[in-house]
Copies of this chain bind each other. A is one copy, B any other.
Amino acid sequence: MADVGRAAGVSAQTVSRYFSGVGYVGGSTRERIAAAVAELGYRPNRAAGSLRARHTGIIGVLTVGELVHGSAQILTGLSQAARRLEQTLMIAQVELGYEAEGWQGEVRRAVDHFLSAPVDGIVVSTSISGVDEALDAARAHVPVVNLSERPRVLDGSVGTHSFTAGYEGTGYLIGQGHTAVIHLAGPATRHEAIERERGYREAMREFGLEALVVGEARDWSSATGFAAAQQVDVDRFTGVFASNDEIALGFLSAMERRGRKAPTDFSIVGVDDMPAAAYFSPPLTTMRLDFQGVGRTTLQTVYEMIRTGESTARRVIEPELRIRESVAAPRDRTR
């Protein structure tokens, strides 16, 4: 900055004002600085600036496991909003191991990494049981926004409404006349899966129907749905509520091998509305979740918390039923 100042015939401090926009810089001075900047190819060094200013404009994003549809879309939304607010995203990924021990340490490491950067705030994308605890250390230093279905601290959290997705998805099936509706659960470690199942159970209970959860999921993959379809008794259900589209796809695939197609032999609804879902065979009726929107409001939320120092109230994004062709009224089996 001193060099630029010299070239423009002003002090470094004035150049600093020119870039930061705080304080006054005269019109002609402004032009001379701009010229000097262009000529020298100068760019301010944010690492230096943030040292004295005590904020970096960096927001840490913690992701869990590989980026699949939902988390990738969330990240897309986060980075859209970050660009608009001129914040920088620093990402750290923790591998999702099944040995409970290792990954808590991983989270702590990632948090340390962030605080050391240092970041102005942290968002935890895709939350798992137990992250909350590992995050308390960070809360003391910077705002933390939890993108979670069941955050331990409600304020300053954002989430989709997975319970509603489960409740309405199942309700739609029931509304079409299905009474034997089974559920294909997602991984039990994930809050989204737990809430969707809870929504399913609640809907079934309200209508006096018996809930039945099929299979055991280790992940959100189609393999999970495929495996569930292989062990299910095809005569014991007419409706299926799947915890996500990918699982629904696996189920569809396995049922096709067993000679059953939706919506004639059974009906099915998923959750997510991944882009491919509209082209499944049949096109899948599903509870759409606006992941990009979730990402955007999440970033907006940390940003506000950073600026104001106060937690905002919990924000929730509601799912929306997308009717396609995988659901029909059940055939009368007694005939």
Contact = CB atoms under 8 A, between A and B. Distances in A.
Interface residues of A, number: 52
Contact of A56 (B47, B75, B92, B292): B47
A48 B252 CA distance: 55
Contacts of A47: 47, 50-51, 56, 117-118
Contacts of A275: 68, 221-222, 246
A189 interface: no
Interface of A: 43-48, 50-51, 56, 58, 63, 66-68, 72-73, 75-76, 79-80, 83, 88-93, 95, 112-113, 115-118, 221-222, 225-226, 246, 249-250, 252-253, 256, 275-276, 278-281, 283, 292
24 contacts: A43-B118, A44-B116, A45-B51, A47-B47, A47-B118, A58-B90, A66-B72, A67-B73, A68-B72, A68-B275, A79-B91, A88-B92, A89-B91, A91-B91, A222-B278, A226-B279, A246-B275, A246-B276, A249-B279, A250-B279, A252-B279, A253-B279, A276-B276, A281-B281
10 shortest interchain CB distances as A-B pairs: A72-B72, A253-B279, A67-B72, A281-B281, A79-B93, A222-B279, A66-B76, A43-B116, A249-B279, A47-B47
